[in-house]
Structure 1
């Protein structure tokens, strides 16, 4: 029997911070666990790891605590397993479009049978099937992200908890895999889970990701989930708030991130403060976080500066140490061991897990049950009785929690929230995603007296001085859903918007105003315009991040506002305050007349310090920009592309020099426009020439080398050089820093291949152009992007190291001017060697 033991310690403090009382050390690197996605322990405590193409058990032959070798258990995976676990000696894993089992056929302690499929499901994508575990009740539990809706047809139990499940789910599956039920749903993309006390499950769910600073954004959260809970994910632009009556218990809110591993720690080796709780991993920021059952939060480990620590999974050894894997998206793989600086000396023990608990862990009110019933109905319908019940509870002397539940019931009584139908009679602009949390799925055709009564009651609640922010927020939403033709509702929401200090809360109210079918007066139009002008500026001044959905959603909002009020766009652009760079968000969906007026206004107030985005916006117009302005833009790196675009749109002979420079812009649109302009002027398109003397020397010898290729280029010798010079690592290796060379001879001839080998920066495809980052500390980091978000960049450098640069550390970011492929790869080679290498490349 082979067991991995941990004896000595490797100091990892130079790159990874760890909490007081703990140590951290790297025990495996990318050579053993490349791009590691999942780990577990086998029945004898060995670490088993998976990544693209493999599942293997790791070996520590010399007992120094570091793994030196491995034994493959499963190969041929299309991707790394997203879930790994052992049960009764057999290995189960999630990969290759299924749940698979591998058994130990010769009782040697290693599983070795051919994999057998237990369940066919969609796997491999980042929002598909993930972790699985055998529960204390003897049933299988599987978690899947919000990209696996087609899996719902697998549900086959009688009277399921969720007749119409949606989005990310936890499955409960019989031991023989024959009976399957959705146990909880509404997660966005939770990767992992573990069993908590009292028949519950701890889950770390993803955030709204692309919805930063939008009113419906929900952060990553650790949930304690009971059967029947709905974690609230309805659509890409709507997830219910934490106070919704169907939500799981929220243990912690951890902000932005990418949740991966989850572990309930059952040992006692670590300090007491890391017991009685759940460990969770965040891939984006490389955080290991402990969340106590008492809702305490403590960071356990995180990278220092720009060190890479892309954590993917977590497990514990039989003696109570914690192992964390890193990898994902082609990044560098590895394993890290977290241990106590002074381990507890008592014998390892397992804490009792009370499971299952037939006593419900959360009391559900009458209103809560009614909400559950309505959300499980086959189709959205109008339920007047439910609306009347909601009104009764709002009229009663209740607390905020009950009022919030009553508002949720009132919304469900008119069909509930969610994506709009394409044929909705309320108009195409009113079914846009921006309204997913503000529009009933169907028109709220309640009795007019009931609508009027509800509107009056809600307006009073909104104005009440003791109303909490959460209550006011939901009152505004409910008014938007009811769509009352009420001047009083408009006035109440508009007045409330003026009192809000948060721009996000103001935007919430602006969206609600766009839902009200009320005729607009000049004063009402001005109120809307003031909100439209103020909100983006306040977001910028408070340094609140916005992400990819910001422009799209606000563009949809403008279209809806314009449909309600045809004057709003003209009033916006003509307002003296219009022209701040953040106001460009409103131009994405402007009419052509509004766009040109906005460009002329921006140009009229511009100077040499013009914002680059404003300059680019002006440059996209049809009007010629004065050459005096363009010359100023060409002097600055930030506005040079805009200047080139202006020249290209109205080219003259005097512009040829600058257009020749524009051909080498990093911006594809600029390159294409410059080439078109040069052709229009009858000019040749210039080619990039390297200033390197070494490159020029090789290019001078190109004719002789190409002759050798034709006469005596040896493919086998070239293949050996390709391996020795480590070309395969970047081109056909797992990290794929460069393009695959398979079939390259069908796209390029020997002369092109030689030029690309000698001068790799001559022509870099946009897809493989590296990113260069200047940090606030003056450090320059260059690498291929693995992941980019509003919070920063994760890069893979030329030496296959993963680095993470957060936004607050970035001084400047731009495409790299040179290739990650170094020019010196041919150093020391003879002309014949290079000819052999080109011959090999020509054979691929």
Structure 2
């Protein structure tokens, strides 16, 4: 790897082109690679670019996140706005004779998918066809558009804030979705995606004429982009829910192999499925915390062979392009990630392979400074086009089963593969079975002796069978000798049993007799599922056994990406400090399960359990971490007796910290700060960062924003903010917070039928009542609004962050604060 100092002359947006001053930027790339900055996007005239595509003339079409479309001609260099009324796009694709546009924001036109064509032959796009309307999802709405290798389909990725298009008329997986939680789910403690249920984020494909729509895959949080690799397999990059960090349901950003009918298990709040659930598909490599954006295959590049075979995945937060190197592993892949390009202050958004074999990429988004770059290879390795590696036999078998997802399956082929050693084949076989008429196969279930096959059948019966059929299969599962199973099959059995009970209740089947004697197990994941099932069943021994395990001090085993962070200076001491103060994820899962157990509890057990919450509240986590702790504790109190609640209250555990207590003093005198004055502050390199951290708290920033796992949760985590924001961006965000409000942090404007209104964050809804936090500094302060009294709910145009928070600071104190913010890389 080597550092490249990028010195390029950037062209102005105004025509004729006027050279601007040289700009210096450091990036790290493998030896032999070169990166050039081609264009600095003038924010005022052209916004902040987030997507792009090549047109047939070799020009780039680009989109401002909140504005229109632009055409970029490289030789001679020229940028011009398109005349057609279109924009707010987060996905562009020029396919055959049309530009397909995926609009995520209603800033220019309605949210949805459009087809743009040139009806007059004058070279200008003028005809606009709306293929499908979508509910506005913003940054979690419609994203990338990708053509299939055979040219018959266009694939669309969409995040978890936009329901499926009404035009979808075929489902390669199931249309019998469920949240499928055995224990009551806790919604996100800060209200994120509280109303969004399965199928979550999704990938569909449609014909270029827009007449046929099919659901290919679902269960994503927010897969922004995807690409087909050398084998014609679709690869996507799904996002994490960073607010979950420090909880057992946190799932890092990950690379997904998008197989037919795949379900990746996103559910809101605590409900995200673990990778080992047999009715879901795991990722092929975890990346870690971040914000996935552009994905592009190395096919067509003039790069060395290993990079032509790679998938390049971009991270907006950490300014990194990962090269994902995949190797076949059974019927799917195992993968390794390489940090191909790294930098700071480079919020990556999209990438495409150019006709010249280079990769062109952009930085921008959320109205930050935007630019266009090009990566080329100038080393000595061979860059001849690769030939695809042979497809393994297991891939061929999976493909054979996936063809049966269209509904014309052969039971003689499907049934033996339900118990196949390869998980991807078992999954494909079960989906094929679910597409057959239920009556054609249910009669064979009672005679099945293989546990692994029976578990797959249980999933299919839970989804499509009656309550009586499901209970019959549950009775079969209850006869399995748990002690003779491998760890993998134990997990499959426990999930199969839990799924039936989640959908059809437990009935008269006594699973405690089957499972209680085997708890605890030697495997942590098996213990998680045993605790879940036994807590649901109100086992009389689950409390004592679980608390005994919670009493044992645990040494945290960080995930692979955390170990990488500990060796990589770019992640900084803030990340490492937070990793060192994480709670025991195993114990948090146990506490989450035990909240539903009503009896028997001894006084000592209650005290140990509720003392755990007080200790966990002192640990670090994402922005929803402490809210989850509080809500789980609240749920546990609701399941305690009145006498127990009085006893627990007398212990005075879990006092809530006051965000306004012990604020550092401010010297002042302040002034009415404006954006230009803050943007032009000088001498920040000599500012006092330690005092800047004090001013961060004094100005109430810490009441809403967290750094290093400490602080409030109403606003974005700022631990890595300087990796993507510059001084001018911070100035605008602080002085004019209403100008850009991310949909993740916006409040809702609730208009009531009596003419009054309420502004706040909707955290939950129970029994037709909305739970609304109306204090940005303290989400524990809530009011209740009956849904019947609500006339409308719309995004509030006013940011929950009040302006003027820095107006108490003098110039030096403000310099210290801004220097502190710019140190958070």
TM-score normalised according to structure 1 size? 0.62
Q: Counterparts of 1:50-129 in structure 2 under 5 Å? A: 50-51=63-64, 52-62=66-76, 68-73=77-82, 75-77=84-86, 79=88, 81-95=89-103, 96-105=110-119, 110-123=123-136, 125-129=138-142
Distance 1:353 1:106 in 2: 46
State which drifts further: 285-294 or 111-120.
Answer: 111-120
Residue 213 of structure 1 pairs with residue 246 of structure 2: yes
1:148 maps to which of 159, 162, 165: 162
Q: Kindly state the Cα deviation for residue 393 of structure 1 after the two structures are TM-superposed.
A: 4.5
Taking structure 1 as reference, are residues 116 and 21 closer, same or farther at Cα in structure 2, changes over 3 Å only? Answer: same
Residue 558 of structure 1 pairs with residue 629 of structure 2: no
Larger RCO (alpha carbons 8 Å, 6+ apart): 2
Distance 1:199 1:125 in 2: 30
Taking structure 1 as reference, are residues 268 and 445 closer, same or farther at Cα in structure 2, changes over 3 Å only? Answer: closer
Q: Kindly state the Cα deviation for residue 75 of structure 1 after the two structures are TM-superposed.
A: 4.5
Secondary structure of the corresponding residue to residue 541 of structure 2: helix
1:409 maps to which of 478, 486, 496: 496
Which residue of the partner structure matches residue 816 of structure 1?
806
Task: Answer yes or no: is the 8 Å Cα contact 2:257–2:283 preserved in 1.
Answer: yes
Task: Answer yes or no: is the 8 Å Cα contact 1:382–1:413 preserved in 2.
Answer: no
1:342 maps to which of 360, 373, 379: 379
Listed one character per residue, the Cα deviations across residues 79-100 of structure 1 (whole Å, up to 9, x for unaligned) are 2x11111111321111232222
Taking structure 1 as reference, are residues 445 and 61 closer, same or farther at Cα in structure 2, changes over 3 Å only? Answer: closer
Secondary structure of the corresponding residue to residue 611 of structure 2: helix
Residue 470 of structure 1 pairs with residue 503 of structure 2: no
2:593 maps to which of 495, 504, 512: 512
Residue 16 of structure 1 pairs with residue 27 of structure 2: yes
Distance 1:342 1:780 in 2: 49
Which residue of the partner structure matches residue 525 of structure 1?
606
Q: Kindly state the Cα deviation for residue 147 of structure 1 after the two structures are TM-superposed.
A: 0.8
Secondary structure of the corresponding residue to residue 542 of structure 2: helix
Q: Counterparts of 1:638-657 in structure 2 under 5 Å? A: 638=664
Which residue of the partner structure matches residue 18 of structure 2?
none
Q: Counterparts of 1:197-208 in structure 2 under 5 Å? A: 200-208=233-241
Secondary structure of the corresponding residue to residue 460 of structure 1: helix
Which residue of the partner structure matches residue 543 of structure 2?
490
Task: Answer yes or no: is the 8 Å Cα contact 1:38–1:82 preserved in 2.
Answer: yes
Task: Answer yes or no: is the 8 Å Cα contact 1:167–1:186 preserved in 2.
Answer: yes
State which drifts further: 115-124 or 222-231.
Answer: 115-124
Q: Kindly state the Cα deviation for residue 405 of structure 1 after the two structures are TM-superposed.
A: 1.0
Structure showing greater radius of gyration is: 1
Q: Kindly state the Cα deviation for residue 799 of structure 1 after the two structures are TM-superposed.
A: 4.4
Which residue of the partner structure matches residue 190 of structure 2?
none
Q: Kindly state the Cα deviation for residue 478 of structure 1 after the two structures are TM-superposed.
A: 2.1
Listed one character per residue, the Cα deviations across residues 622-643 of structure 1 (whole Å, up to 9, x for unaligned) are xxxxxxxxxxx5xxx53x59xx
Taking structure 1 as reference, are residues 239 and 559 closer, same or farther at Cα in structure 2, changes over 3 Å only? Answer: closer
2:514 maps to which of 457, 462, 486: 457
Which residue of the partner structure matches residue 270 of structure 2?
237
Listed one character per residue, the Cα deviations across residues 445-465 of structure 1 (whole Å, up to 9, x for unaligned) are 421xx33xx22433333324x
Listed one character per residue, the Cα deviations across residues 700-745 of structure 1 (whole Å, up to 9, x for unaligned) are xxxxxxxxxxxxxxxxxxxxxxxxxxxxxx9xxxxxx69xxxxxxx
Taking structure 1 as reference, are residues 572 and 817 closer, same or farther at Cα in structure 2, changes over 3 Å only? Answer: farther
Task: Answer yes or no: is the 8 Å Cα contact 1:133–1:140 preserved in 2.
Answer: yes
Distance 2:692 2:111 in 1: 46
Taking structure 1 as reference, are residues 804 and 309 closer, same or farther at Cα in structure 2, changes over 3 Å only? Answer: farther
Aligned pairs, how many? 591
Q: Kindly state the Cα deviation for residue 244 of structure 1 after the two structures are TM-superposed.
A: 1.7
Secondary structure of the corresponding residue to residue 283 of structure 2: strand
Distance 1:345 1:802 in 2: 48
Q: Kindly state the Cα deviation for residue 256 of structure 1 after the two structures are TM-superposed.
A: 1.3
Task: Answer yes or no: is the 8 Å Cα contact 1:324–1:337 preserved in 2.
Answer: yes
Taking structure 1 as reference, are residues 89 and 343 closer, same or farther at Cα in structure 2, changes over 3 Å only? Answer: farther
Q: Kindly state the Cα deviation for residue 125 of structure 1 after the two structures are TM-superposed.
A: 1.1
Distance 1:461 1:9 in 2: 68
Task: Answer yes or no: is the 8 Å Cα contact 2:171–2:261 preserved in 1.
Answer: no
Taking structure 1 as reference, are residues 267 and 196 closer, same or farther at Cα in structure 2, changes over 3 Å only? Answer: closer
Listed one character per residue, the Cα deviations across residues 649-674 of structure 1 (whole Å, up to 9, x for unaligned) are xxxxxxxxxxxx9xx9xxxxxxxxxx
Residue 789 of structure 1 pairs with residue 721 of structure 2: no
Secondary structure of the corresponding residue to residue 400 of structure 2: coil
Q: Counterparts of 1:284-303 in structure 2 under 5 Å? A: 284-294=317-327, 295-303=335-343
Taking structure 1 as reference, are residues 159 and 185 closer, same or farther at Cα in structure 2, changes over 3 Å only? Answer: closer
Which residue of the partner structure matches residue 607 of structure 1?
none
Distance 1:350 1:445 in 2: 54
Q: Which runs of 5+ in 1 are unaligned?
A: 1-5, 63-67, 417-441, 588-612, 618-632, 642-660, 665-687, 696-729, 731-736, 739-758, 762-771, 806-813, 823-844
Q: Counterparts of 1:468-617 in structure 2 under 5 Å? A: 468-480=523-535, 482-484=536-538, 486-499=539-552, 501=554, 502=556, 503-537=584-618, 539=619, 544-566=620-642, 583-584=654-655, 587=656, 613=657, 616=660
Which residue of the partner structure matches residue 284 of structure 2?
251
Taking structure 1 as reference, are residues 369 and 690 closer, same or farther at Cα in structure 2, changes over 3 Å only? Answer: closer
Secondary structure of the corresponding residue to residue 296 of structure 1: strand
Distance 1:176 1:77 in 2: 19
Q: Kindly state the Cα deviation for residue 170 of structure 1 after the two structures are TM-superposed.
A: 0.8
Distance 1:12 1:237 in 2: 45
State which drifts further: 780-789 or 286-295.
Answer: 780-789
Which residue of the partner structure matches residue 809 of structure 1?
none
Task: Answer yes or no: is the 8 Å Cα contact 2:135–2:162 preserved in 1.
Answer: yes
Distance 1:514 1:780 in 2: 38
State which drifts further: 559-568 or 520-529.
Answer: 559-568
Q: Kindly state the Cα deviation for residue 15 of structure 1 after the two structures are TM-superposed.
A: 3.4
Listed one character per residue, the Cα deviations across residues 821-843 of structure 1 (whole Å, up to 9, x for unaligned) are 99xxxxxxxxxxxxxxxxxxxxx
Listed one character per residue, the Cα deviations across residues 561-604 of structure 1 (whole Å, up to 9, x for unaligned) are 3541446666556659x5xxxx44xx4xxxxxxxxxxxxxxxxx
Listed one character per residue, the Cα deviations across residues 470-528 of structure 1 (whole Å, up to 9, x for unaligned) are 22122212223x332x3212222222222361522112111211111213221221221
Listed one character per residue, the Cα deviations across residues 336-358 of structure 1 (whole Å, up to 9, x for unaligned) are 22222426565556858989983
TM-score normalised according to structure 2 size? 0.63
Task: Answer yes or no: is the 8 Å Cα contact 2:118–2:127 preserved in 1.
Answer: no
Taking structure 1 as reference, are residues 332 and 351 closer, same or farther at Cα in structure 2, changes over 3 Å only? Answer: farther
1:157 maps to which of 161, 165, 170: 170
Q: Aligned Cα RMSD in Å?
A: 4.3
1:398 maps to which of 473, 485, 494: 485
Taking structure 1 as reference, are residues 615 and 344 closer, same or farther at Cα in structure 2, changes over 3 Å only? Answer: closer
Q: Kindly state the Cα deviation for residue 121 of structure 1 after the two structures are TM-superposed.
A: 2.4
Listed one character per residue, the Cα deviations across residues 196-242 of structure 1 (whole Å, up to 9, x for unaligned) are 45553211111122212122111111111211111001223211111
Distance 1:787 1:41 in 2: 37
Listed one character per residue, the Cα deviations across residues 735-769 of structure 1 (whole Å, up to 9, x for unaligned) are xx69xxxxxxxxxxxxxxxxxxxx999xxxxxxxx
Task: Answer yes or no: is the 8 Å Cα contact 1:773–1:781 preserved in 2.
Answer: no
Distance 1:471 1:270 in 2: 45
Listed one character per residue, the Cα deviations across residues 78-131 of structure 1 (whole Å, up to 9, x for unaligned) are 52x1111111132111123222222245667x4523222222323461111111
Q: Which runs of 5+ in 2 are unaligned?
A: 1-5, 11-21, 104-109, 178-197, 328-334, 403-423, 427-451, 557-583, 680-685, 706-713, 735-803, 813-825
2:36 maps to which of 25, 29, 43: 25
Taking structure 1 as reference, are residues 515 and 310 closer, same or farther at Cα in structure 2, changes over 3 Å only? Answer: same
Residue 384 of structure 1 pairs with residue 471 of structure 2: yes
Taking structure 1 as reference, are residues 690 and 266 closer, same or farther at Cα in structure 2, changes over 3 Å only? Answer: closer
